[in-house]
Amino acid sequence: MTRKRSAPGDDLLSKLIEITDAADPRPPEAVLVPITQGLMHAGPETTSSVIGKLVPVLLDDRSRWQRLLDDRSPIRPAVEELLRFDVNRGPGMPRYLTDDIELDGEVLPKDSITVSVVASANRDERMFPHPDHLDLTRTPNRHLAFGAGAHSCIGQALARTELHVALDILLDRLPDLALAVPPSELARRAGVLTDTFEQVPAVW
């Protein structure tokens, strides 16, 4: 942040500093730094991690990859289904309740902490028939991989586009792509939002 402030460039962080430094009152650095960290994590890290997660799921069953090679039209619903199926496997998001909330006939008391587990919601059989089955043509698909309402990801349109383009390019350039190790040997990376893999060894 200090470097960008002293030598700004034509980039997002420099523009963010310019806008916030001109604000009245100016936000403290303790606010600006977490915003910057969020941009760096929620932007490139999550998208690259998700690409590294979705491709192994497709390659785990060769017929899935072949289906998209034969017909690209299901790429958009396929990406949505892959997002539903495996993108948020973490322990969930803690939320502090400032008021009593009634949920499904039960009152959750004020000052409680709840945990919203997106992975569980995305496998809810009341919303998704056969939720443990990966259906690349599933529609509608109201998954919560990007959150919902006021807490939905503001970058989801860009993320979806990046995933569509990345998958389309991989299918074009590496039609013979295959995992170099059994899926069971892919190790998950701890401590990141998307629960991605450490490595995805591949051959083509």
- Structure confidence at residue 82 (pLDDT): 92
pLDDT band at 2 (very low <50, low <70, confident <90, very high): confident
Residues 6+ apart with CB under 8 A from 87: 50, 53, 54, 145, 194
163: nearest Cα among 194, 188, 204, 186: 194
Give pLDDT tens digits for 13-57. 899 899 988 988 888 888 888 888 877 777 777 788 888 888 899
Percent of all residues in the chain with a pLDDT value above 70, rounded to a whole number: 95
Which of 11-25, 71-85, 132-146 is predicted least confidently? 11-25
- Structure confidence at residue 179 (pLDDT): 95
- State the chain's mean pLDDT as an integer: 88
pLDDT band at 158 (very low <50, low <70, confident <90, very high): confident
Give pLDDT tens digits for 88-139. 666 677 889 999 999 889 999 999 999 888 888 999 999 999 999 999 999 9
Judged against a pLDDT cut of 90, whether residue 152 lies above it is answered with no
> How many CA atoms does the CB half-sphere of 9 hold within 13 Å?
7
pLDDT band at 185 (very low <50, low <70, confident <90, very high): very high
For 141, the 3-state DSSP assignment is: coil
Phi, psi of 122 (to 5 degrees): -75, -5
**With contact defined as beta carbons under 8 Å apart, do 89 and 119 qualify?**
yes
Judged against a pLDDT cut of 90, whether residue 84 lies above it is answered with yes
Q: What is the pTM of this model?
A: 0.77
Judged against a pLDDT cut of 80, whether residue 87 lies above it is answered with no
